[in-house]
Structure 1
Amino acid sequence: MRKVLQVIFTLTLLLLLTPAFSTKAATGNEVVNLAKEHIGTPYKFGGTTPAGFDCSGFLYYVYGQLGIKLPRTSSEQYQVGQKVSKANLQPGDLVLFSNTYKPGISHAGIYVGDNQFISAENAGIKISSLDNPYWGPKFTAGKRLDSVSQTKDFSDLTKSNPAYAAVMELSGKNIINGFDDQTFKPAKPVTRGQAAAIINRVLHVPTSSKAAYSDVSPNQSFYKDIVAMQASGIIQGYPDGTYRSNEYLSRAQMAVIVQRAFGGNVSGVVKASSIYDDVASNHWAGNAISTLHQKDRTTLFQTNSFRVNDKATRAEFSAAIYNTYPSK
C-alpha cells in the first residue's frame, strides 16, 4: 500500500512540476487574426490583459485565448517549440529578438506573414517589418508550436482549379500566402512589388545596395525584395527611373520574369507564334512564353491564346513559378 501511495504521490508531483501546454489545435491565421484585434492596445510592463500588454504578456494572452498555454516571459518562450529560420516563417509562429532593453532574449512577437510581425512595442500593439532597421539586427529565432496548425486550405480554391497543386505547394513553403478570411483570391492580379517579394522568397537574393528608383523608399513594403530583383536583373525599372511597385504585372512580363529568375531556357523550343494565336513571331517575350508552355505541369498554359497583355493573376503567377522553380 505504501508503494502505491508513493507512486501516486510521484505522478502527482510530476504533473504539478511539468509545464502545462495545451494540445488544442489552432490555425496560424486564427492566432494572427486574434492578435490583430488588439492593435493599438497600450504597452504596459507586466501586462497580460487587453488593458495593457508587455511583449511576452501579449503572446501569453493571445495563445492562451486559443487554449495554448505559453510560459510567461520571452526568454522562457524561446525555449518552447521547434526552431525555424527567418525564411521559413509561417503565420502564427513565434519570433524572438535579443538585446533590446537587456542582454539576451528580450522581446517576442507573432509572425503575421509578408515578412511582418505583431508585438507589444513601446507605442502599443503594432505590426512591424522584420527588416525594420531596429528589429532586423535583433531577430534571433522563429519558433513553431506543434499546437498551431499550418493548414493552407483555401475556401475559394478547389482541386479542380488547374493551379491548385501549384498554389498548395507554394503556400506550404510560405512563398505565396492566402488572406485572413481563408481565401486565396486566385483571380486577383499581382503587382510588381508583390512579384518581387514572391520571387525573392524562393531565391533569397543577398544585397546590400540601395534602390535606384525615385519612387521606392526604404520604409515601403517589399523594399529589400525590389532591391534584390534590381541587383539580380530579374525585375528592372522603367526608363524614367521609376519602379511602379503598385502597377500590375502582365502575363508576358510574368513569363520573362520567371524565366530570368529560374532559368528554363529549353533548346529547340517551338516558337510562341506557332502555339498561341495572339503572339507575334517577333514578340519580345516569345521565347519565355514558349518555354512556359513547354514546361507547364498545370495545363493552365495549354490554351489557344496566351493573352500577353492581360494582368497576371495570383493563380497564374503561382503556376508559372511552380513550373520552373527548383522545388527540390
Structure 2
Amino acid sequence: MNRFTAPTFSFALLAVIVTLQGCAVPQPYVPQTPTATEVRPPVAPATTVGNEVAIRAISLLGSPYEWGGNGPTTFDCSGLVRFIHDQLGILVPRTAAEQYSAATPVDVDEIEPGDLLFFKIKGRISHVAIYAGEGRFVHAPQTGRSVELRMLDDDFYAPRLAGAGRLF
C-alpha cells in the first residue's frame, strides 16, 4: 500500500522548493584581504600636466599641416604646441623661437612627456615638438605631411636637436 498521498507530496515538494530558494539568496559581499603572496595589479600613475600634454598631442596624430595653423584642425609645429597648452590654460608664445626663449630649460637626458624639443634648422630655432615618452616625439613637420610621431634618434632631427624645455 502506498502511503504517499497528494497532500504529503505537496508538502514535501514545498519543503524542497523553500530549501532551494534559500540557496538563491545573494550573500553580502565581504572584501577579502590579500595575502602577502598575492600579486596586486600596478596602480596607474596620476595624470600630470606633462602626461596630459603628451596625450593630447598623440590624439592629434594625422591632423593636416598648414603653415600658420594653430588648430583646431590644422597645425604648424608651434601652433600645435600652443593649441594644446591653451586647452590646459597655459599661455604660450606663438613661434618656436619665442617658445624656446619662454621655456624653462630641461636637460635632454631628463626629458619627460610633455616637454618641448627645439630644433635648429638653417642655423636658428625654427622647429618645436612635444616629447611623448619612450624616445618618441609628436610634431607637425611641413607642408604635405600630417602631425606625426618620430623617434629622438631620427636621422634628420637628432643632429638638429638644440635643447629641451618646459612651459608648465
TM norm. shorter chain > 0.5: yes
Tell me if structure 2 keeps the 8 A contact 1:38–1:50: no
Does the alignment pair 1:118 with 2:134? no
Note the 1:186-225 alignment, pairs <5 A: none
Tell me if structure 2 keeps the 8 A contact 1:41–1:50: no
Equivalences, count: 119
Q: Which residue number in structure 2 is paired with residue 42 of structure 1?
A: 64
Share of identical aligned residues, percent? 39
> What is the CA–CA distance in structure 2 between the aligned matches of 1:80 and 1:115, rounded to whole Å?
24
> What is the CA–CA distance in structure 2 between the aligned matches of 1:27 and 1:58, rounded to whole Å?
16
Q: Which residue number in structure 2 is paired with residue 81 of structure 1?
A: 103
TM-score (norm 2): 0.68
Per-residue Cα deviation, 1:67-94 (whole angstroms, up to 9, x for no partner):
1111000000001122112211101111
> What is the CA–CA distance in structure 2 between the aligned matches of 1:115 and 1:64, rounded to whole Å?
25
Which of these residues, 132, 142, 153, is aligned with residue 154 of structure 2? 132
> What code does the residue aligned with 1:129 have?
M
Q: Which residue number in structure 2 is paired with residue 64 of structure 1?
A: 86
> What code does the residue aligned with 2:157 have?
W
Tell me if structure 1 keeps the 8 A contact 2:58–2:132: no
Q: Which residue number in structure 2 is paired with residue 29 of structure 1?
A: 51
Question: Which runs of 5 or more residues in structure 2 are unaligned?
Answer: 1-47
Q: Which residue number in structure 2 is paired with residue 159 of structure 1?
A: none
Tell me if structure 1 keeps the 8 A contact 2:137–2:151: yes
Per-residue Cα deviation, 1:237-286 (whole angstroms, up to 9, x for no partner):
xxxxxxxxxxxxxxxxxxxxxxxxxxxxxxxxxxxxxxxxxxxxxxxxxx
Q: Which residue number in structure 2 is paired with residue 105 of structure 1?
A: 125
Greater relative contact order structure (CA < 8 Å, 6+ sep): 2
* Runs (4+) off by over 2 Å: none
Per-residue Cα deviation, 1:61-120 (whole angstroms, up to 9, x for no partner):
011111111100000000112211221110111110001xx4300100111111111010
Note the 1:148-187 alignment, pairs <5 A: none
Per-residue Cα deviation, 1:205-252 (whole angstroms, up to 9, x for no partner):
xxxxxxxxxxxxxxxxxxxxxxxxxxxxxxxxxxxxxxxxxxxxxxxx
In terms of Rg, which structure is larger?
Answer: 2
Say which SS state the counterpart of residue 64 (structure 2) adopts.
coil
CA drift at 1:28: 1.0
> What is the CA–CA distance in structure 2 between the aligned matches of 1:50 and 1:66, rounded to whole Å?
14
Question: Which runs of 5 or more residues in structure 1 are unaligned?
Answer: 1-25, 148-328
> What is the CA–CA distance in structure 1 between the aligned matches of 2:111 and 2:80, rounded to whole Å?
19
> What is the CA–CA distance in structure 2 between the aligned matches of 1:84 and 1:48, rounded to whole Å?
25
CA drift at 1:50: 2.6
